[in-house]
């Protein structure tokens, strides 16, 4: 797909991976609408990107947004949907575990309500995570949600063809989701990635490059691309 002049909607597009994808699409000539619950946190954005406010868990708001923005060609979601429970499963607060699946429900809403407003050669990309296939201690909820996202993509992709649906699975990525700063941030990421084949955190731009590949490559659907620094090999 040549994205020049195409319209793209990016959920979670005002921070982290979503923002990086929005900027890369705009640099390639796409018209980008970045969606977030808090659009103002994006700050100054380059030409080609506008923002709108929406919660991916609000069915009515999502349907109204898609109708307003239709038609469009590219649909990306990096929206987390809410919090993520961590820790041993047998010690886990089950409301927290259930709440972690807000990411899946949000993605389901994006695909369910967005697909009908897309061009027939459109491309959808979601973001799961490396724990979907290699879950480390304390990541049961994250792994279960990511696995569900990837299963959803494989199941739905044949239904919506010729539109394409894919997923990118990041490893440990340096994004604003981590609140630590300075030396504490450096130490945290060093510990988290010590066993990686590439022993550092990835960047949002590196994950966004994987997303752009999925958008542009017309021969890829129903699959997962890993941008994880060797997470699955360590």
**Does residue 231 fall inside a structural domain?**
no
Mean pLDDT (the chain) is: 94
CB of 29 closer than 8 Å to CB of 52: no
Whether residue 177 is contained in a domain is answered as yes
| pLDDT single digits (tens) 76-92 | 999 987 788 999 999 99
CATH at residue 76: 3.40.50.720
Given this model, what pLDDT does residue 179 score? Answer: 67
In a domain, 43, yes or no: yes
- Structural domain contains residue 168: yes
Task: List the structure tokens of 60.
Answer: 């009515």
Range of the domain at 121: 7-225
Structural domain contains residue 26: yes
Give yes or no for residue 154 having a pLDDT over 90.
Answer: yes
Residue 47 has pLDDT above 80, yes or no: yes
Percentage of residues of the chain with pLDDT beyond 70: 99
- The answer, yes or no, to whether residue 57 has pLDDT greater than 70, is yes
Is residue 232 assigned to a domain?
no
Residue 115 has pLDDT above 80, yes or no: yes
**Rounded Cα gap, residues 40 and 165, in angstroms:** 29
Nearest to 70, CA basis, from 22, 33, 108, 25: 33
What is the CA 20 to chain-centroid distance, rounded? 11
pLDDT band at 116 (very low <50, low <70, confident <90, very high): very high
Number of structural domains in the chain: 1
Q: In which band, very low, low, confident or very high, does the pLDDT at 44 lie, cut at 50, 70 and 90?
A: confident
Cβ burial of 208 (10 Å; 0-12, 13-18, 19+) is buried
pLDDT at 195: 87
């Amino acid at each position: 797909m040549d994205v020049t002049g195409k319209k793209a909607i990016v959920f979670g597009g005002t921070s982290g991976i979503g923002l990086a994808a929005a900027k890369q699409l705009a640099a390639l000539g796409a018209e980008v609408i970045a969606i977030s619950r808090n659009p103002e946190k994006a700050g100054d954005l380059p030409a080609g990107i506008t923002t709108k406010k929406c919660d991916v868990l609000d069915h009515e708001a999502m349907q109204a947004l898609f109708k307003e923005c239709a038609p469009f060609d590219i649909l990306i979601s990096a929206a987390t949907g809410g919090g993520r429970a961590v820790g041993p499963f047998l010690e886990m607060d089950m409301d927290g575990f259930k709440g972690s699946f807000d990411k899946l429900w949000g993605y389901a809403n994006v695909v369910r309500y967005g697909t009908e407003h897309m061009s027939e050669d459109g491309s959808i990309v979601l973001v799961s995570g490396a724990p979907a296939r290699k879950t480390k201690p304390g990541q049961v909820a994250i792994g279960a949600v990511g696995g569900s996202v990837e299963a959803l993509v494989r199941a739905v992709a044949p239904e919506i063809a010729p539109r394409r649906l894919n997923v990118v699975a990041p490893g440990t990525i340096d994004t604003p989701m981590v609140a630590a700063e300075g030396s504490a941030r450096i130490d945290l990421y060093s510990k988290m990635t010590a066993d990686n084949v590439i022993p550092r955190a990835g960047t949002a731009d590196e994950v966004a490059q994987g997303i752009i590949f999925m958008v542009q490559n017309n021969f890829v659907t129903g699959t997962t691309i890993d941008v994880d620094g060797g997470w699955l090999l360590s």
